[in-house]
Structure 1
Amino acid sequence: MSSIDWSLAGKTVWWIFIAVWVALRWRPNVRARRHRVKQSKRSLRENISLVISFSGLFLVPVIWMSTRWFRPFNHDIGPFSIAVGTILLIVSLILFHMTHKALGTMWSNSLDLRTGHQLITTSIYTHLRHPMYTAFWVWALAQPFLFANWISGLSGIVGFGALFFLRVGTEEEMMEAEFGEEYRSYVKRTKKIIPWIY
């Protein structure tokens, strides 16, 4: 009886997650595009941060899986690591689903405000201002557990971390400018990405 290839298992779990994530996002993306963008802050910095995040969460892992470039940084993983990574990705998918459901057509993958934009403060937004970012952080944290390679494992944390810290301040300024005291009051009673902590 041959031993289990845990590295292959981690890659398989990750690809299944990617497929489900794309399916989860498909309909909200189509629905949101039907509503005109009223204001956008898609600056050069925003575009660069999106590329960095995409690279860390997707491109670098694919390069590792399909080439020999990062092979010197491979390491062993086992069933416990795969289990933790899988649980984290499931949590991430649940958060993505809850966030898309709460946002409806207000969702955007960039810094956009749509016509008739509303401030969502219910459901998962009751305690968190940026649960979508929480979902991405959980995804990024899952990669070191699933990938038997230091570079691809940590690339998501570095990549999404860059986007988060470059974007979140601008996004909050944008929301405050749009919703004024309503948003300032909302900020006082919520946290950014971790309930009751941060």
Structure 2
Amino acid sequence: MLAGGQLLVIMSITFGLLLLGIGVFALFLGLRLLWGMPAALSQTSGVRLAARCWPAAPGTIIGAEVRVAPGSDEEPFYDAVVRYAYTVQGQEYEGAQDDLTYVSNVQDAAQAIVARYQVGASVLVYYDPQAPQRALIDRSIRPHHLVGLSLADLLFLLLVAGGLLAILTGLAILAAPGPPPPD
């Protein structure tokens, strides 16, 4: 049978390792959100982050409109959709970006974005050099794109700190001198 001190050390180190494991899982979740894997979780932020390294080609706006779709609670969903044309190595491409709206239930916000992209205006198009048909005109990262990442990172830091504290506590108990021998 284990003495009380030994049991405390084993429990402390085991708890610390468990917290570290959960923390690493939270980090993995945060990285998946950051890089857009799976795409359904965070396609927007993953593509926008990748696009920050993509080359740019001159392009032209060929259309911009507010798309209305049914939303939750009978509120319509408004989204700005901007279509553009660009050329990469002599090949012509057309693309559309529909993730430009921050507030989806406010028509004026979507309309303001559409107003910024006048048909015929020049624009830089950032394209994937491995797949030039994949492109963006706005590659900025907005805070709402990283909410999942931020929460996962915070969870990671808290769990790792708790895990390390528990492990260090267990090791400190091991290193502490025992009670003096009885006379």
State TM-score, norm by structure 2.
Answer: 0.26
Relative to its length, the structure with more helix (as a share) is 1
State TM-score, norm by structure 1.
Answer: 0.25
Larger radius of gyration: 2
Relative to its length, the structure with more strand (as a share) is 2
